[in-house]
Structures are given as structure tokens and as C-alpha cells.
Amino acid sequence: MALLSTKSITKTFGTLEVLKGIDFTIEPGEVVAVIGPSGGGKSTFLRCLNLLETPTSGQVLFDGEDLLAPKVDLDRLRSRMGMVFQQFNLFHNLTALRNVMLPQMNVLGKSKAEAEAHAMELLEKVGMTHRATAYPSQLSGGQKQRIAIARAVAMSPKLMLFDEPTSALDPEVVNDVLDVMTDLAKQGMTMIVVTHEMGFARKVADRVVFVDGGVIAADMPPEEFFADDNANPRVRDFLNKVL
């Protein structure tokens, strides 16, 4: 059974139709890179998966449940879905350590000691134990994003969503964040990553999904997607501009 699937999801904002009927599935352990031109619907699609944006029509099934069902416990299902944003969304009045601890205590009901121990383990994995007592204002963009990833992973999600996690970072720290994400993929985390990082999509993703004009215009393994003889002219045109 797919961990998550969508059936004909659409999304309109007034008269603007951003998503025009998307069918998508991801299996446990898969890493899917979602790429495409700006304004093509990538981030809207991602945000519809956990109902940060509510689809206008269609169905989103996650872990065997319909997220759009009338009486669904959306908070419970969202707690199984981690999300990392472009702008980090850390609590500015909390240290890095407390940022990773607090959701565990408030949502998972862990004790302070349990949450702190797990948070320190994750900070070590993302190379941030030396900044555990620092506040977000004292951290660089790359450091903030690694803390944000640790915070999301602390919830033991079944699925991680990344919305262009490196787009707001200085070029010299992008690889630090991509290395953390690559390690997550190697550990078997199921991931959907909206990204402009073609190297990550080529090397780490199991599938590349190309979203353009509100539809999935291509869905294939990276070796086929990035092949010089890709038969899809829209993909070839896009790659010629970004590579």
C-alpha cells in the first residue's frame, strides 16, 4: 500500500487554477524530488499533501486515511508528517535545543528528560550540538535549517516534506543541509522534496516528478529524467535552462 496518494487534486485561488488534477503516489522508503519552473504549482502541491492548503477537489490518502474526510483527526495525521520550510519557522524565543524538545513534549507527551535526550541525539546527527544553547538570532541560515530538520525528525514522522529547503540559504552552506537530507534518505526516511537542486535530485531521489502548468508532466527515475535523450520536449527545454 502506498504511504500517501492523491487522486485528481485541484486547487484554485479565485479564478486562478493552480493545480489541475494531480494523481500521485509514494511508497514507504521512497525519495521523490519535485522540480519544475517557478509558478508551476510545486509548492502548492506539497502544501496540499498535509492540508496547509486545502485542495479544491480530489482526495489525499495518507497512512490509509482520507485527510479530507469530514471527521478525520487532522492533527493526529499531521503529527506523522514532518515539514521543513524555506524560512525555517523556528521559535525565536527558544534555544535550538528547546525548539527540538518542545513539539515532542506538547504533541507526543514526552517528559522533559526524554525530549531533551532525543533532541541532543538529533542535534548531534545534524552537527549542531555545539549550538544547542543558541537562539535562532545567533544562528546562520544553514544552522537554522539543520535545527528545523532535527525538530521535524524528532516527531518520528512516517513522511518528511521539504519545501525548497535550501532556497533561502547562502550558496556555501547549501551542501551542509543537503548532506543532512541525504543521510535521512540513506536511513530509509520517506521524503518528498520540492527543490531546485538538480544534483540532489539526480543523486538521491528514487523518482523525479516534474510539475508544470499545474499538472505532473513527467514522473520517472532520475537516470531517465536527466538523460540527454529524454523524449519529453518540455523536460529537455527546462533542463537546458537550469543545467
User: Domain spans of the chain?
Assistant: 1-26+39-65, 87-173
With b meaning 16 or more CB within 10 Å and e meaning fewer, what string describes 131-165? Answer: bbebbbeebebbbbbbbbbbbbbbbebbbbbbbbb
Q: In this predicted model, what pLDDT tens digit does every residue of 184-235 receive, in sequence order?
A: 999 999 999 999 999 999 999 999 999 999 999 999 999 999 999 998 999 9
Tell me the C-alpha distance between 162 and 82, whole Å. 8
Q: In this predicted model, what pLDDT tens digit does every residue of 99-157 receive, in sequence order?
A: 999 999 999 999 999 999 999 999 999 999 999 999 999 999 999 999 999 999 999 99
**CATH of the domain spanning 87-173:** 3.40.50.300
